[in-house]
Amino acid sequence: MIFKADRQTKEDLGIFPSGRESSIYDLFNRTQSNGGSKLLRGMFDHPLSNIEEINRRSALISLLAKEEIELKIESEKFDFAEFYLSNQDQRTRIRGHKDNLERKFNTLIGSDQNYIQIKKGAESLVDIFHFAIGVVELLSNLKIGEELKPFIQLFQNLIDKEEFNPIKELIAGKRLNYAQLAICDNIFRFNYREDIGQLLTLIYTLDLYITVGKIGKELNFNYAQADDKVEPQIEIDSLFHPMVKGAISNSVKIESQKNVIFLTGANMAGKSTFMKSLGIAIYLAHMGFPIPAASMNFSVMEGLFTTINLPDNIAMGYSHFYAEVMRVKRVAESLSRSKRIFVIFDELFRGTNVKDAYDATVAITKAFASIANSFFIISTHIIEAGATLDKSCKNINFLYLPTVMEGNRPIYTYKLSKGITADRHGMLIINNENILDILNS
């Protein structure tokens, strides 16, 4: 089972970089090693949907952050090592009995580029191996919780292998002679290549977790706790948008009895920003990463669908309204296939006239409200639809983002309030622009 989030969702939330905008991935992409960065991409591509995996990863990251463990990774060495390991050509294998005069002469005049590459790679790997021994020692000496133990054990088991004894006997940072190189090369590239690969991955993972933990701390993120309650719920305290400077935080709770949030508010009141920050928190929580909130408890979902900036597809002859209808249809089909999905719709049906939008919003929201195990957030500027839904549906939570008028100027608080907004500033904006005066003068 995987956590589903389609391209539209990732684009809406700005998970991956597109154009000049900085993304959530960029926030975390500061690992020291290239391998760590690749792992990070993989984690962003495939969020988890298994409660144990999520909690294990978030526990590890938070623990490493709490202990303020620092690793100094020489990423150049890892690059050499990776390049060296990728060469699996048997003909380039260093053999002890080939240590003849011809080879020595070639090396002396520096004509054997291959040999130099191999030597450099093997020496880097020897250093890395000794670095790993040091890391394991450092981690084992910490008096820390159970969560880290299996991870350290993996490390320990690899290093403790008898076959690696010749490597352990070498001294890090020292040049290898031909005989030593032949032994190392055998171990690294041919006999125990997979173990070495695993060791590198463990170091990358550690680098990644430490980096993520550190960034989480810098950004004031905290860790979400996945739970397995029978009735799904999501409770977030002090949620904020990580890209908005001085963002105002909001707390929100969604549960089966109130599985739809109907969000209203004037234009610019912050509806989209709130929805995006919620989407980001849910996405990161399912990766076991720190989230932009003070705390979060959540039931693991099977997918996240957002529709915040839906592009028109006029080239295909779709009107904006039709594109929206097709998007709703897609979400509806997913709902009928899986159990728990989180759905976010910003300005549902804005591509059509206000009256059709009203009818459609009421019909679709009602239908969503009946799917108790999935959660929905729907925003609209058609406040009349809210009033109708209030009468007919019990499990809708009506929230709004208020606007306070200071003279003629609207001020936005960005703090969620209960109810449906009565703010109508359409005429006010028109009056502020003096359009009628221009025409009547």
Give the interface with another protein as residue ranges (CB under 8 A). 267-268, 309, 319, 321-322, 325-326, 328-329, 332-333, 335-336, 349-350, 352-360, 363-364, 366-368, 370-371, 381-384, 424-427, 429-430, 433-436, 438-441
The least CB distance from residue 249 to another protein, in Å, is 21
Q: Which is nearer to another protein, 316 or 439 (CB)?
A: 439
Q: How far is the CB of 210 from another protein (least distance, A)?
A: 36
Distance CA 417, CA 422 (A): 12
**Closer by beta carbon to another protein, 217 or else 320:** 320
CB of 326 to another protein, least distance (A): 8
Amino acid at 428: L
What is the residue-wise DSSP string for 251-278? EEEEETTB-EEEEEE-TTSSHHHHHHHH
For residue 269, give the nearest of 42, 425, 109 by alpha carbon: 425
Helical residues (DSSP H) of 174-319, grouped into ranges: 178-185, 193-218, 271-285
- Nearer residue to another protein within complex by CB, 34 or 434: 434
Q: Which is nearer to another protein, 267 or 397 (CB)?
A: 267
Q: Which is nearer to another protein, 271 or 286 (CB)?
A: 271
Q: Which residues contact 260 (CB under 8 A, 6 or more apart)?
A: 365, 368, 369, 375, 376, 377, 378, 393, 395, 396, 397
Measured CA to CA, the distance from residue 25 to residue 41 in angstroms comes to 8
Least distance (Å) between residue 303 CB and another protein: 15
CA distance 423 to 403: 7
Whether the CB-CB separation of 325 and 345 falls below 8 Å is answered with no
Smallest gap from Cβ 415 to another protein, in A, equals 20
CA–CA gap between residue 199 and residue 159 (Å, rounded)? 8
Shortest Å distance, C-beta 10 to another protein = 18
3-class secondary-structure state, position 106: helix
**Is 289 in a helix, a strand, or coil?**
coil
Q: Residue 341 Cβ, how far from another protein at the closest point, in Å?
A: 11
Answer yes or no: are the C-beta atoms of 262 and 378 closer than 8 Å: yes
- Return the number of the residue (79 or 359) whose C-beta is nearest another protein: 359
Between 123 and 324, whose beta carbon lies closer to another protein?
Answer: 324
